[in-house]
Structure 1
Amino acid sequence: MPLVRIELWAGKSKDLKDAISKDVTDVLVKHLGCPPEGVTIVFDERPKSDWYTAGKSHVELHPDKK
């Protein structure tokens, strides 16, 4: 069954991750026909300082976002 790994900046709320998990599960159940219990979602949170785009830290690129 599907395993979905979602990487994002650290600090997202449990409520947000609950909502994302539900929506992703619903989409996979709809399109794959698998049971909800077969869908596993892993959130891999990293500090913004560990994310880089075009050689610049996301701390620099997105100072106002958490």
Structure 2
Amino acid sequence: MLIKHQNTIYLHYGLPYIRQECTMPLVRISMLSGRSDEKKHELAQEITKSFERVWNNKPEAITIIFDEVEKADWVVGGVPYSKK
């Protein structure tokens, strides 16, 4: 069970609540795997700077997650990207 209260998320697994602080905003990027960590970190820095500039967010409040997907698992129009 997931319970939200302001910027804190409480996760319940039949045990006492586990408190996990949540940062906002959260930016999630889905992309094909294979890019270097260096390039992902460079992109994350640029996105963070943009949120700081446009929304006046503090850098420590911005979370960026990279979801890397294998070509066989990325399907467009019914065709896996690995077959293109």
Higher gyration radius (CA) = 2
Q: How many residues align?
A: 61
Task: Identify the structure with bigger relative contact order (alpha carbons < 8 Å, sequence gap 6+).
Answer: 1
Give the TM-score normalised by structure 2.
0.68
Please report the RMSD computed on the Cα atoms of aligned residues, expressed in angstroms.
0.9
Structure 1: gaps spanning 5 or more residues:
62-66
Q: Counterpart of 2:38 in structure 1: which amino acid?
A: D
Gaps of 5+ in 2: 1-23
Shift of 1:47: 0.4
1:40-51 matched pairs, under 5 angstroms: 40-51=63-74
Q: Which has the higher strand share?
A: 2
Query: Following superposition, which runs of at least 4 residues in structure 1 exceed 4 angstroms of deviation?
Result: none
TM-score, normalization by structure 1: 0.85
